[in-house]
């Protein structure tokens, strides 16, 4: 059985050990040491990272009484020097210890029991068994948590059994029946937990509430803890400072400035739509005076053919829609862009023409791609010199219908 230094001295991160066993498991070597500071994953806390004799430890898992260190390669010697990744472990000790403090504060402020915890890569979330929580209570929880950190209260840990458990009032009942590990932040918070924690609250540094959401009728609170809170502050400060420069404002004026900008934007969008409408109406009226009448066997159709250059596609679409409101109308539009052009073939709803059957043949004239369904087809083309042939073929289709 591996001696668990991480429970005896939770802040020790460097140690010497003897290799007891090395087992090849697929592409990994599972190494068992006589003692270890490497915390295996469990209780919501991720496995430690680090090195054994300079070789990377990729994962650490507890299986029954053994703790396996997963490496990519075998280690030749028996006596090894090991190092746990300080930044990784420190971050998760801040998250984990911080979570104990917040959960304790939630109980003290409003009897909000913690039902589940997630230590994510960017935030730590705590789900409480309550349908709601006033913001004022959250601020009180944050304030009390930071007070507990500032008081730098000792955190003790020890193992007990069911009999010994009777001497403690746990914040949350435990299912464990033996080797029950008690984590006590003096008289502030007592809970059964198998994770690793600091020995004093001060190292948690800072706790900042960042948001809440309702999930399955409960509240999930999201927190920035320790260095993550500081990093988050830096990031927010950077954003605010940049916005202050952009808007020539101070941070308390920012919301008002952005709201004004938004109002202006709405107004401009409205005006733009109105102008587009008027313009498309005028273009439609002009195009209606330029129609070619094509007589087929049983009807006469108004063909509107027009080539545009770099024209606004929204307005073009509006023009088309307006023209198609009239019966017996057939549209053939081209909009020339830099190295290609857009094409539109469309007709009024009352017409029935065999365009779907002929579309590929029509497009072959202009090296075109795209498609559609009656009564609108559109796409791109690259062979502008084929446009007259396409028009010719289309007229023939209309005539022979
Ligand atoms: Zn814990």
* pLDDT one-digit tens code per residue, 215-224: 999 999 999 9
Name the pLDDT band for 170 (thresholds 50, 70, 90).
Answer: very high
Ligand 1 centroid distance, CA of 183 (Å):
7
Query: First CA to last CA across the chain, in angstroms?
Result: 90
Ligand 1 centroid distance, CA of 229 (Å):
20
Mean local confidence (pLDDT), 65-81: 94
For residue 37, the model assigns a pLDDT of 97
Burial class (CB in 10 A: 0-12, 13-18, 19+), 325: exposed
Measured distance CA(190)–CA(15) in Å, rounded = 30
375 cis-preceded (ω within 30 degrees of 0):
yes
Whether residue 323 contacts residue 345, with contact meaning beta carbons closer than 8 Å, is answered with no
- Contacting residues for 307 by C-beta, under 8 A, at least 6 apart: 333, 334, 335, 336, 387
Ligand 1 centroid distance, CA of 98 (Å):
9
Ligand 1 centroid distance, CA of 295 (Å):
86
Ligand 1 centroid distance, CA of 135 (Å):
26
Ligand 1 centroid distance, CA of 291 (Å):
80
Is the pLDDT reported for residue 43 higher than 80?
Answer: no
Ligand 1 centroid distance, CA of 221 (Å):
18
Measured distance CA(301)–CA(295) in Å, rounded = 6
**Other CB atoms within 10 A of residue 174 CB:** 15
Whether residue 45 contacts residue 92, with contact meaning beta carbons closer than 8 Å, is answered with yes
**Other CB atoms within 10 A of residue 86 CB:** 12
Tokens of 16: 């010497």
pLDDT in tens, 101-158: 999 999 999 999 999 999 888 899 999 999 999 999 999 999 999 999 999 999 999 9
Q: Quote the pTM value.
A: 0.76
- Backbone torsions φ then ψ of 234, nearest 5 degrees: -60, -45
Measured distance CA(323)–CA(349) in Å, rounded = 11
Whether residue 170 contacts residue 181, with contact meaning beta carbons closer than 8 Å, is answered with no
Tokens of 354: 């065999």
**Other CB atoms within 10 A of residue 157 CB:** 17
Whether residue 165 contacts residue 125, with contact meaning beta carbons closer than 8 Å, is answered with no
Ligand 1 centroid distance, CA of 197 (Å):
6
Is the pLDDT reported for residue 281 higher than 90?
Answer: yes
Is the pLDDT reported for residue 44 higher than 80?
Answer: no
Tokens of 106: 């939630």
Nearest CA-CA partner of 14 in 41, 52, 43: 52
Whether residue 57 contacts residue 71, with contact meaning beta carbons closer than 8 Å, is answered with yes
């Amino acid at each position: 059985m591996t001696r668990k230094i991480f429970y005896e001295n939770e802040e020790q991160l460097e140690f010497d050990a003897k290799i007891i066993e090395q087992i090849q498991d697929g592409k990994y070597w599972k190494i068992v040491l006589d003692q270890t500071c490497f915390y295996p994953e469990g209780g919501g806390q991720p496995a430690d990272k680090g090195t054994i004799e300079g070789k990377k430890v990729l994962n650490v898992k507890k299986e029954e009484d053994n703790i396996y260190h997963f490496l990519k390669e075998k280690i030749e010697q028996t006596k090894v020097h090991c190092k746990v990744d300080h930044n990784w472990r420190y971050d998760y000790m801040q998250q984990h210890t911080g979570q104990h403090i917040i959960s304790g504060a939630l109980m003290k402020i409003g009897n909000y029991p913690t039902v589940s915890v997630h230590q994510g890569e960017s935030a730590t979330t705590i789900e409480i068994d309550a349908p709601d929580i006033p913001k004022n209570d959250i601020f009180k929880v944050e304030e009390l948590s930071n007070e507990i950190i500032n008081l730098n209260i000792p955190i003790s840990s020890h193992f007990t059994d069911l009999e010994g458990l009777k001497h403690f009032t746990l914040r949350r009942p435990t299912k464990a029946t033996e080797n029950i590990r008690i984590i006590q932040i003096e008289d502030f918070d007592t809970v059964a937990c198998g994770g690793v924690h600091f020995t004093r609250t001060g190292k948690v540094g800072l706790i900042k509430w960042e948001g809440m959401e309702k999930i399955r009728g409960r509240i999930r609170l999201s927190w920035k803890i320790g260095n993550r809170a500081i990093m988050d502050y830096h990031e927010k400060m950077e954003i605010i400072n940049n916005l202050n420069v952009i808007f020539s404002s101070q941070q308390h004026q920012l919301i008002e400035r952005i709201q004004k900008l938004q109002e202006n934007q709405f107004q401009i969008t409205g005006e733009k739509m109105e102008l587009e409408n008027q313009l498309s109406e005028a273009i439609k009226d002009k195009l209606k005076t330029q129609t070619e009448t094509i007589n087929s066997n049983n009807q006469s159709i108004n063909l509107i053919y027009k080539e545009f250059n770099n024209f606004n596609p929204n307005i073009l679409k509006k023009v088309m829609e307006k023209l198609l409101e009239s019966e017996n109308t057939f549209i053939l539009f081209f909009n020339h862009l830099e190295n290609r052009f857009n094409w539109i073939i469309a007709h009024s709803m009352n017409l029935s023409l065999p365009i779907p059957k002929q579309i590929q043949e029509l497009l072959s004239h202009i090296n075109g791609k795209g498609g559609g369904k009656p009564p609108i087809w559109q796409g791109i083309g690259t062979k502008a010199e084929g446009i007259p042939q396409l028009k010719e073929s289309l007229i023939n289709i209309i005539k022979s219908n």
